[in-house]
């Protein structure tokens, strides 16, 4: 038994219950579930919740072998710590 209030995506505060309900209601693919709930679209880019979102979507629908699973989203441009800490006077 899983707690429906358990947060799966910490960045966007998406719960297990929201993911399951959305996946069952719309028969979502992993990508569609991500777009409908914003799970995996926060600061970490899905590094912590991607596999859970993928699993929940796949449990609600049949998997198409040609379908690509969710991926991690790195930052667009890496920024060095020197640039982040650079203070101009």
More confident residue, 89 or 3: 3
- pLDDT greater than 90 at residue 72: no
Are residues 62 and 23 in contact, defined by beta-carbon separation less than 8 angstroms? no
Q: How many residues does the chain have?
A: 89
Are residues 28 and 36 in contact, defined by beta-carbon separation less than 8 angstroms? yes
Instruction: Say how far residue 71 (Cα) sits from the centre of its chain.
Output: 9
Tell me the pLDDT tens digit for each residue of 10-26.
999 999 999 999 999 99
Are residues 12 and 38 in contact, defined by beta-carbon separation less than 8 angstroms? yes
Query: How far is residue 71's CA from residue 62's CA, in Å, rounded to a whole number?
Result: 19
Tell me the pLDDT tens digit for each residue of 27-52.
888 889 999 999 988 888 888 899 99
Are residues 31 and 56 in contact, defined by beta-carbon separation less than 8 angstroms? no
Does this model's pTM top 0.75? no
pLDDT value at position 26? Answer: 92
């Amino acid at each position: 038994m899983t707690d429906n209030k358990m947060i799966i995506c910490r960045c966007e505060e998406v719960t297990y219950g929201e993911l399951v309900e959305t996946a069952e209601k719309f028969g979502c693919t992993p990508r569609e579930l991500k777009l409908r709930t914003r799970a995996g679209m926060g600061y970490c880019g899905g590094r912590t919740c991607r596999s859970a979102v993928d699993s929940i979507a796949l449990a609600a629908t049949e998997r198409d072998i040609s379908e690509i699973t969710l991926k991690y989203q790195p930052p667009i441009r890496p920024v060095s710590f020197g640039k982040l800490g650079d203070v101009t006077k």
